[in-house]
Every structure is written in C-alpha cells, then in structure tokens.
C-alpha cells in the first residue's frame, strides 16, 4: 500500500521563505541499462514555467508527476513542490542529466547537472520505488473549470475529479486542504454520494469520481488565485511485475 499526497493547483500564491531552494535528486547514481531511474526536481516556493532538461540518453517512461505539500513546523509554514520523472537509459556509459529551470518571483533558478553511470544489463533489474511510480502514473486529481476568463460576477463551475486506472485501487482517502476562493463569492453543490463512473484520461480508460462541485462568482477583475485541493490517498498496487505488464 502506498500513500500519495495529490494536489491540483490552478494558480496559487507563493509562500515567502528565507531562501529559495530548487534542486534535483536521483534515486540512484549507478544502474543497469535494463533498470529505471527516478529524478525529482524540488522547490520550496511555488514557481512558474517549469522547464525540465531534455534527458539526452534516456527515454521518459513516466511523468512529469507533481506533488505539493504544506506543513506548519514550530509556527512556520513549510512548502514543497516536486516534479518527478522516471527514465529508462538508452545506452551504457556516464550520462548527464541537464539543468531544469523555474521562475520564482520573476527570477530564474536552475538545478545543478547530475551524473549517473549506466552499466550493462543486470540479472535481476529493480525499478527502485516502482510502487510509487505505478501509483503516480495511474492516479490523477483534476480540476475542470467551465470558463477560464469569465466576466466580473459571471458564474463559473469548478469540478474536482479523481481518476483511477484499472491497474490500481483506492482503499481510503481523506482531504488535507480545502480550496479557498478568495476574490470569489462561492456556493458549494452538495454531493450526496460518490458515484464511480467510467471515462478516459489521456486517451486511456479510467474510472473516476466527482469529489466536489463549486459555483464561483469573481468579485474583481484581473488574475485571480484558487488554492489547491489536497488529498491523502491510500493506493493498493500489485506487488508483482506480471500483474501490471
């Protein structure tokens, strides 16, 4: 069982920190050509226009997956946002993962390049954190907005849906942070019972549930922010590779 924290962010205000941190991490520095690598790009303030490296020498087999978390420690709010990719090496040798870029408060930040060593195929390949990759690739929290550029006081609807692939199952979930609708007058639409429906996500068959619906009336003009809905979800994933592939 794997627990994920999922957030959907339409447009959120940055959190003030003493120092901006934007760094890249790899799950391992040495792996076989028949194994997978996870790369995380993590920041401690919300940024715009995230630009990943080209991943020369690798095939992207998963991602980008996005995680957002906030916590309060000793009276101080801590913020973290991570973009994760799963990579399959194409060749043997020492490969470099280039710099990623992000814009925070109109300033561009870059990660340091990372070097990994790719060896010949190993007898027993491991995917390293494979269960999390499966969960993240098969679970998606989506906010659908009826109109992105409404007029002042024009009613729009925001619908939050959780898409679950047939490859995994959700055994439990709870809401960590509810969206706040500053600069909007809001009216929630009561959902009496969650109904599982069949649909598609990115062209693939998925099941989904509508978690909440809200009608919003913008109270001022300009770019308005909607804070994220954040869930903690218990995901059951198969433990054997043959169950997935």
The model's pLDDT over 104-116, given as tens digits with 9 standing for 90+, comes to: 988 999 999 999 9
Domains of the chain and CATH, by start: 2-129 (2.60.40), 136-244 (2.60.40)
Which residues are paired to 189 by β-bridges? 213
Kindly provide the b/e burial profile for residues 50-73, where b requires at least 16 CB atoms within 10 angstroms of the residue's own CB.
Answer: bebbebebbeeebbebbbbebeee
> 72-107: per-residue pLDDT in tens?
656 667 778 889 898 999 999 999 999 999 999 889
pLDDT in tens, 138-157: 888 888 888 888 999 999 99
pLDDT tens figures, 173-202 = 777 778 888 889 999 888 888 888 998 887
Instruction: Name the CA dihedral angle for 72, 234, 143, 110, rounded to a multiple of 10 degrees.
Output: 60
Helix, strand, coil percentages (3-state) for the chain, rounded to 5, are: 5, 55, 40
Residue 132 pLDDT exceeds 50? yes
DSSP states of 62-128 as a string?
EEEEEEEEEEEETTEEEEEEEEEEEEEE-SSEEEEE---EEEETTEEEEPPPEEEEEESPPSS---S
**pTM metric for this prediction:** 0.53
User: CA–CA separation, 51 vs 99, rounded Å?
Assistant: 9
Question: What is the b/e burial string over 17-43, where b = at least 16 CB atoms within 10 angstroms of the residue's CB?
Answer: eeeeebebebbeeebbbbbbbbbbbbb
């Amino acid at each position: 069982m794997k627990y994920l924290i999922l957030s959907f962010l339409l447009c959120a205000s940055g959190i003030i920190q003493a120092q901006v941190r934007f760094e890249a991490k790899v799950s391992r520095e040495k792996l076989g050509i028949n194994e997978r690598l996870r790369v995380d790009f993590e920041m401690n303030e919300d940024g715009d226009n995230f630009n990943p490296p080209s991943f020369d020498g690798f095939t992207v087999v998963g991602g980008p997956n996005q995680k957002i978390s906030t916590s309060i420690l000793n009276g101080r709010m801590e913020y973290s946002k991570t973009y994760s990719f799963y990579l399959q090496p194409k060749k043997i040798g020492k490969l470099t993962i280039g710099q990623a870029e992000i814009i925070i408060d109109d300033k561009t930040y870059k990660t340091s390049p990372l070097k990994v060593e790719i060896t010949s195929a190993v007898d027993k390949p491991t995917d390293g954190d494979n269960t999390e990759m499966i969960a993240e690739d098969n679970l998606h929290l989506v906010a659908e907005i009826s109109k992105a550029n409404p007029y002042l006081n024009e009613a729009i609807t925001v619908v939050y849906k959780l898409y679950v692939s047939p490859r995994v199952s959700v055994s439990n979930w709870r809401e960590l942070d509810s969206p706040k609708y500053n600069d909007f007058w809001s009216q929630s639409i009561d959902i009496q019972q969650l109904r599982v429906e069949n649909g598609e996500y990115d062209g693939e068959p998925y099941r989904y549930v509508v978690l909440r619906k809200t009608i919003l009336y913008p109270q001022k003009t300009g770019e308005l922010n909607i804070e994220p809905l954040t869930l903690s979800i218990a995901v059951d994933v198969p433990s054997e590779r043959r169950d997935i592939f």
